[in-house]
Amino acid sequence: MLTRSVMRQCQPCTACCDGWVQITVKGCEAYPGHPCPHSTGEGCDDYENRPVDPCRKFECAWVKSGSFLPDDFRPDECGALVLDSILSWQGLDVDLAVPVGREIPPKTLQWLMQHAEQKMRPLIYQVQDPDVSVLEKNPLTLAYGPPAFQEWVLEQEQQGNKLW
């Protein structure tokens, strides 16, 4: 894999602030269909005063130095926001992909699944219920990887355990 020499910049993507990942900023929740109240859709209206957690600490996998994601996988372009190594399962790093919209586009999801197989990195991903017109705060969580991993994720969900 080639290492990028140029750092990727978040802007103009604001998928994390637009509520595709659940965050709480200065006491205000952001989640699908409910962006951070400081998001303008082009950036933050209080960028200089943004809190360390989650704003300054947050890095999607696309913007990280040495990212495994292709250049065209900026979240607002590929339809998925990827967080790498959100947890470890049986010694394997697990990645998370959340849709930037109702669902992760098939081409993007296929690439992520192939990467998961090739690199032995189980994948957790979310989709909105296609039968519900309103975006859900807690979309359906699915797992891709060994059957034991899929069962483990299902058990965690059924027990109400947060995975990330």
Residues 100-156: pLDDT tens digits?
999 999 999 999 999 999 999 999 999 998 888 899 998 999 999 999 999 999 999
Q: What ranges do the domains of the chain cover?
A: 11-58, 59-158
Query: Going along 2-46, which residue ranges are E strands?
Result: 23-25, 28-30
Residue 4's nearest CA partner among 62, 60, 66, 82 is 66
Per-residue buried b or exposed e for 86-113, using 16+ beta carbons within 10 Å of the residue's own CB = eeebeebebbbbbbbebbbeeebbebbe
1, 66 in Cβ contact below 8 A? no
126-131 long-range contacts, CB within 8 A, separation 24+: 126/97, 126/98, 126/99, 127/99, 127/102, 127/103, 128/32, 128/99, 128/102, 128/103, 130/102, 130/103
85-96 residue pLDDT tens: 999 999 999 999
Structure pTM? 0.89
